[in-house]
Amino acid sequence: MPAASAVEPEPRAVPVRGPSRTRAEDWPSARGLRSRESRARHGKAARSVAPRASHGVWEPVRERQDPVRVLMEQAGSRLPDLVPVRNGRMSASPFAFYRGSAAIMAADLASTPVSGIDVQLCGDAHLSNFGGYASLDRQLIFGLCDFDETLPGPWEWDVKRLVTSLEIAGRDRGLDDPERHAVVRAAASAYREAMREFAALDNLQVWYSRMTAQDIRDRWGSEVGKKDRRRFDRQIERAVTKDSAKASSKLTKLVNGRTQMISKPPLIVPLSDLLDDERIPIEGIVTAGLQGYRRSLSGARRHLLEQFHYVDAARKVVGVGSVGTRAWVVLMRGTDNDESLILQLKEAGQSVLAPYAGRSRFNNQGQRVVVGQQLLQASSDTFLGWNRMPSLDGASRDFYIRQLWDWKLSADVEKQSRATMAIYGQMCGWTLARAHARSGDRIAIAAYLGLGDVFDVAMVEFAEAYADQNEEDYARWLDAIRAEEVAVTLDL
């Protein structure tokens, strides 16, 4: 990555929304029918609408909603018995709170400056939503891993969510101000420089670009010590063993010669325990839901899925922000052997960005997630699909479906040093730029960002200011717990 050049001076501006936005879904007018030169001019002209330095400003609007109220309203559509689990997990630290408060930040970002150039957003691009997973050619690649909130919108929103997460994580790790600022600046610089690199590439070159485990070793291996390199190699070794067979060994047990899902309520509850009525045809309910899902797959992948049959299912709690949404794991077995396949069915509601970026063009929210994921990832899961199916309460809800594990590498933030956190931030910045370059006008964004570090400095300022806001919101959250406004279940 080239070093940043000198600061390009720009006037400050108060946060304002641009009067027009180039939608990521509007590709022909945004890119295909315009020259590279005109797209670059469009990007530079956007600086007059939203000066790059203005992105460093964070000022809450006067009518800003109470963060506790935002989270409680969001919990209204979730499973009541699991909401206290989510609340408890969010109380663990400012970073845990930030992970679960995407709805709060979505509302806040709506009042910040934008250049008017849209991309397909991840929607929740904090550092724990990046990681390693298997590509179709069985390489471990690094990329975005969570798309529950994906929607077209201003590219700045994803970047600000990422850099703020790095600032908050740095505070949790005890990094001092200069160390945290260096981490955030490195991530913002990586995004800007990568976008410039992608702007110079052809469409197909951008589409096929990716970051493999070997790319990470080659690029940053010399910048860390032997201990960090060994830790990374051990993480790779563990990641490639996390598959359906491993998941099956952890989530199932043998009872009277039949494989069943384990029971660890409220985190894992077999479907049979939730229905608790032998007259209800459990297998028929699940297989009917899977039948609709099959139709969302391509012919070849549908054929592969048909080599497996249903065995058992359970409700399984996942993550922090997702706790309380309806999430299931389904055990499938190969029809001619004992091969396991564990699918995850996860409820997809409306994106937290929709009130501010506009509703999705897809009627099925599961399809919204799947299409966004396929657009943003370098390679997506073989079994990725969607369906609308009845829940246990009889209401029809949208779900997306994928393998529970197809290799999985997650960053251990608690063990990262300043050096490794800075590298991780650069990895995330590059990956986010690649995702945005596939879905939006990379030439206009690159021209807007420019060669200097004006935007990088602004991201340091924004991350610090919004991390302060997050700490205030977290303190309000803890006060609500102490006042018993919010019910919590801890240690789960």
Residue 221 domain flag: yes
171 occurs within a structural domain: yes
Write phi, then psi, for 20 (nearest 5 degrees): -145, 155
Domain boundary among 344, 372, 403: 403
pLDDT at position 414 is 78
Q: Are residues 86 and 143 in the same domain?
A: yes
Alpha-carbon distances of 101 from 96, 155, 403, 437, 466, rounded to whole Å: 9, 19, 26, 26, 13
Assess whether 204 and 167 both reside in one domain: yes
Cα–Cα distance, 346 to 236 (Å, whole number): 26
Same domain, 60 and 159: yes
| CB-based burial, 94-113: b 16+ in 10 Å, e otherwise | bbbbbbbbbbbbbbbbbebb
DSSP letter assigned to residue 191? H
Is 143 part of any domain? yes
Which pLDDT belongs to residue 23? 46
Note whether residue 299 is domain-resident.
Answer: yes
In-domain check, residue 269: yes
End residue of a domain, out of 375, 403, 431: 403
- Provide the domain limits for residue 221: 27-240+411-482
Predicted TM-score (pTM) of the model is 0.92
Element at 259 (helix H, strand E): strand 258-261
Residues 233 and 322 in one domain: no
Per-residue pLDDT, 336: 79
What confidence score (pLDDT) does residue 121 get? Answer: 98
Q: Residues 76, 223: one domain? A: yes
Q: Give the N- to C-terminal CA distance of the chain in Å, as an integer.
A: 42
* Residues 377 and 454 grouped into a single domain: no
355 lies in the same domain as 423: no
Average pLDDT for runs of 10 along the chain of length 492: 40 40 43 81 97 98 96 95 96 97 98 97 98 95 97 98 98 95 98 98 97 96 90 93 95 93 95 72 74 94 95 93 94 89 96 97 97 97 94 88 94 84 97 97 98 98 98 98 95 72
182 and 307 share one domain: no
For residue 400, what are the CA distances in angstroms to 10, 373, 388? 44, 11, 9
End-of-domain residue from the set 358, 375, 403 = 403
Structural domain contains residue 360: yes
The rounded distance, in Å, linking the Cα atoms of 257 and 295 is 33
Quick one: pLDDT at residue 83? 96
Number of domains in the chain: 2
Between CA 480 and CA 65 the distance in angstroms is 15
On whether both 462 and 426 belong to a single domain, the answer is yes
* Three-state helix/strand/coil letters over 314-355: EEECCCCCCECECEEEEEEEECCCCCEEEEEEEECCCCCCHH
242 vs 148, 230, 248, CA distance in Å? 22, 19, 10
Same domain for 256 and 236, yes or no, is: no
Q: Is residue 225 part of a domain?
A: yes
On whether residue 364 sits in a domain, the answer given is yes
126: left (phi over 0), alpha (psi -120 to 50) or beta: beta
Q: Which amino acid is at 116?
A: G
61 lies in the same domain as 135: yes
Same domain, 389 and 331: yes
